[in-house]
A and B are shown apart, each in its own frame.
Chain A
Amino acid sequence: MQALTNKSQAVNRKPMTLLERLYLINIIKGMLITFSHMFKKQPTIRYPEEKREFSPVFRGLHVLNRDEEGRERCTACGLCAVACPAEAITMEAAERVEGEEQLYREEKYAAKYEINMLRCIFCGLCEDACPKDAIYLSETFAPANYTRKGFIYGKPDLLIPNPLTEATAFAEAKGVEA
């Protein structure tokens, strides 16, 4: 059979010489190897202070988007829920009434919008399915929680801050847009 690589070596079965059997030289060699590691760069990232950068295509927590006037973009069409392979998204639609025009962009909006973060596989298909650019995946991940209930994120957790009233929080939440 032809060898896969040229790295294979025949096993050396020669009896060891006295110098080899003393092991002292080999031990010193090994100690030099470990000593050289003292000067190697440590790959450690000291987490809470230092954070590793995510890749630009990282898919993290969902964000419900608003338009420039601070109105919710979501119309509760349910396409994201249909697209979701993990069936993590549920919503209830409601009709916009008189005087709510500055809150919701279209006549229909999501009264309840919940994503179960334990079910979600962060595939991003909801983002693809959304015709209104109302949902996208951000660059943060779901923090730990004590209860299962805590992982069901409702509208208050998902909505991005209003760009008109809380401009800095909005910019922060928006992050780097892909």
Chain B
Amino acid sequence: MTILALDWGFIIEKLIMIAIVVFASLGIALYTTFGERKVAAILQDRPGPSRAGPFGLLQPLADGLKLIMKEEIIPNAANKWLFILGPGLAMTASLMSCAVIPWGSAVDVFGRHVELQIADVNIGILYVFAVVSMGVYGIMIGGWASNNKFSLMSALRAASQAISYELAMGLALIALLMTTGTLSLKTIVEQQVQGHWWNIVYQPLGFLIFFITAMAECNRTPFDLPEAENELNFGYHQEYSSMKLGFYLFAEYINMIMSSAIMACMYFGGYDLPFFNEASVAPNIAALIGVGTLLIKIVLFIFLFMWIRWTIPRFRYDQLMGLGWKTLIPLALFNMLLTGAVILAKL
């Protein structure tokens, strides 16, 4: 007798995948904080964290332990439920976006053909957009529930920034989607694996716009207006302490990893290793090489993010809005028009 007409192997396989991806992204996020500090230090001629463990490698664990051990403070005037909901929502939204990222082609384990992707949704990129936009709610709710004017101001900034830059981001992506003709991330990557060039060659302007807007979406310097320390003290997580603060900070780093992964998939061939014939090795090994390639691309993007952070100072608020509405959106529209014209001319 079978218990329900379900493929239990399928469910177990997906659960294992989810566990691996969630914990791996948490681990990578943990070490991204370490990387951030190390990169910042090296770019400023300092050694950076070097005391905890060899080369300071245990520093993120010490930081995490410290965050957990800190006292949990909920301000009297805060709305308690929303105050707790905020960081949870931010974390959930950023973790959910990793569901559609194709981490590799496919491996054969125990006679099963396992796709290295949690869900190959045919509207993958749309799903990512939907989930990432939900992250704004985490920031908004947290900032509003703190009942602190600085938190509220920074939450408002974060929301308006995210909304204005999402527009340009979507427009930049539409041009790419016009050339690929699909919304599925897996298919987009496969097209680049089979095709001659990565999408960056067809969409350099689109990538530039996407990259800038992705930086703004992640609240990274030069667009870290919501966290502008010198105007808003600490930003929307001002009243937070302990692991709730940790969740906000973690969500930010996971967002960074996910946007790097999406950029790698959309414009830089995802798990495609250039000048390497995947058919020349066993399919399992080829898939693992693919996963490694994608991870290296992600790390390079994260380094780029950090590098930019320690180079460029923060924008003023009106400059930020001006760049978003007056420059990036017209540019994205122009890019769309150009792509459409080229596609029409080719027909």
Contact = CB atoms under 8 A, between A and B. Distances in A.
Contacts of B46: 42, 44
A30 B311 contact: yes
A29 to B, nearest CB: 10
6 contacts: A31-B311, A35-B43, A37-B44, A38-B42, A40-B45, A44-B47
Contacts of B44: 37
A38 B47 contact: no
A27 B42 contact: no
A37 B43 contact: yes
Contacts of B45: 37, 40-43
Given A27-B312, A38-B42, A46 B47 contact: yes
B299 to A, nearest CB: 16
Contacts of A35: 43, 307
B311 A27 contact: yes
B307 A31 contact: yes
Nearest to B44: A37
A34 interface: yes
B308 interface: yes
Interface string A31-69: 101110110111110100000000000000000000000
Contacts of A33: 311
Nearest to B222: A27
B31 interface: no
Contact of B47 (A31, A34, A42): A42
A18 B44 CA distance: 31
B310 interface: yes
Nearest to A27: B312
Interface of B: 42-47, 50, 307-308, 310-312
B323 to A, nearest CB: 10
A37 B46 CA distance: 10
Nearest to B208: A24
A53 B68 CA distance: 41
A151 to B, nearest CB: 29
Contacts of B50: 46
Contacts of B307: 31, 34-35
> Nearest 3 A-B pairs (CB), nearest first?
A34-B311, A30-B311, A34-B43
B187 to A, nearest CB: 32
Contacts of B47: 42, 44, 46
Nearest to B50: A46
Contacts of A43: 45
Contacts of A46: 47, 50
B305 to A, nearest CB: 12
Contacts of A41: 45
Contacts of A34: 43, 307, 310-311
A30 B307 CA distance: 10
Nearest to A31: B311
Contacts of B42: 37-38
Nearest to A33: B311
Contacts of B311: 27, 30-31, 33-34
A41 B45 CA distance: 7
Most buried by A among B50, B311, B312: B311
A52 B9 CA distance: 64
Contacts of B312: 27, 30
A46 B311 CA distance: 26
A143 to B, nearest CB: 20
A34 B308 CA distance: 9
Interface string A4-38: 00000000000000000000000100110111011
B340 to A, nearest CB: 24
Given A34-B43, A44-B47, 18 more contacts: A27-B312, A30-B312, A31-B308, A31-B311, A33-B311, A34-B307, A34-B310, A34-B311, A35-B43, A37-B43, A37-B44, A37-B45, A38-B43, A42-B45, A42-B46, A43-B45, A44-B46, A46-B47
A34 B42 CA distance: 9
A38 B307 CA distance: 11
A41 B46 CA distance: 9
